[in-house]
Structure 1
């Protein structure tokens, strides 16, 4: 069997007894199986109301969005003339 030959080689390469390597691999496999059998955790994302979702979509659809971003960033980064080309690229 190929797995037996591979564990022989791996054990020799790592300087371990083959039985110790197999035991460690068994623990790793068991931990992986336990992890995969757990139900998925709830999403950490906050709940968004329909009103919040619609407001966000309206903002994203706003044709002036890039100007709003530029105006907001202009107070932080100067000069505004250099800012707009960087955003639109």
Structure 2
């Protein structure tokens, strides 16, 4: 479970168990970089691909307002482009 801030009564689902979390993290890292900053036409497709990957690794991963669904929404908005450090 993810608890958004200390003392919060709200908790959001992450994964079914620690092994599933590890697989989802490893799969997400292996898929990065998702796209380049100028590839807006790929944002939604990559998010859909990531959702399929995560669902295959843990059927519970895409729970509403959960960690992974939120990440996929951010990917669809272009928040995870391949940034180059300068």
| Shorter-chain TM-score tier | under 0.3
**TM-score when normalising by structure 1:** 0.25
Higher RCO structure, 1 or 2 (CA under 8 Å, sep 6+): 2
